[in-house]
Amino acid sequence: MAGDWPDSGEFWKDKHVVVTGGAGFLGTFVVQKLRQRGAMEVFVPRSADYDLRHLEAIQRLLADARPDVVIHLAARVGGIGANRARPAEFFYDNLMMSVPLFHESWRAGVEKFVAIGTVCAYPKFTPVPFKEENLWDGYPEETNAPYGLAKKMLLVQSQAYRQQYGFNSIFLLPVNMYGPGDNFDLESSHVIPALIRKCVEAKMRGDDQVVVWGTGTPTRGFLYVEDAAEGILLASERYNESDPVNLGSDMEISIRDLVHLIARLAGFEGQIVWDTSKPDGQPRRALDTSKAWQLFGFRAQTPFEEGLRRTIEWYRRSLAR
């Protein structure tokens, strides 16, 4: 096991790495860790220069960067509201910036492609905790199915290209991430940054209530962004199969408990009002993370409350800037 894994520094020292989405929330941490590990070159394409929805831009990127490894983090993402409002965009953009990039990476002789999927690819009703073998047991939750299925095609592609061409690629399924630098735009953010923003700003204004979507009954698992970045790099170094692997933590919390926890940490003491006209999303969501530990030695390190504190403090500092 551990003794057979390559040394991180040795693995990356001669590698040219492209990190799509490398300037984004998760990508910033992945790039930072790659540089700490001594990667020879880390190339972060910006969408203004390389719009990955277009084949010409993908081909130009691979010609310019000549990568040994591609870590594909770029995606159009958002919470329930954004997915409901723009399902066609979420499907098309994620499919078109992923499938051609994968194909062209194979054509260009890339040594390894690291594809990042999403927990939204799981069926709406999946036994909890989600195990990788249940991934094809049903249709995803309707509000994020277009996004989840577009990302899931990378798994099909990974398995097909390994079978026909022997192309080395892996497919990881991260649970919802959170942490400093997250997207706090209420129109497109995920649940944790949205709740942090609502509670912090309500306290600043002296509001007596915060309105939250849904009933509070669904559950979610979460992974601190720095842990997620570490998991992706460990998988890149140590895992070389196309079977999907979950990336998460061993926690599950109801949205109701999450709201009260964030309110307490943010110092908001007013009333929580539930807007039950809004959707809940998937009923339960938590991952079985045993394969990540067995296959590449990853286990989440950051306690949930500590991660929330760091994220709240980061958001408060961002408001003061």
Q: Which positions are annotated as active-site residues?
A: 147
- 244: which residues sit within 8 A by CB, 6+ positions away? 117, 132, 135, 155, 171, 172, 173
* Matching residue, tokens 């995803």: 140
Closest CA to 115 of 164, 169, 77, 67: 169
Rounded to a whole number of angstroms, the distance between the first and last alpha carbons of the chain is 47
Q: CA dist 198 to 54, 77, 264, 265, 311, Å?
A: 37, 20, 13, 13, 14
Phi and psi of 176, rounded to 5°? -55, 130
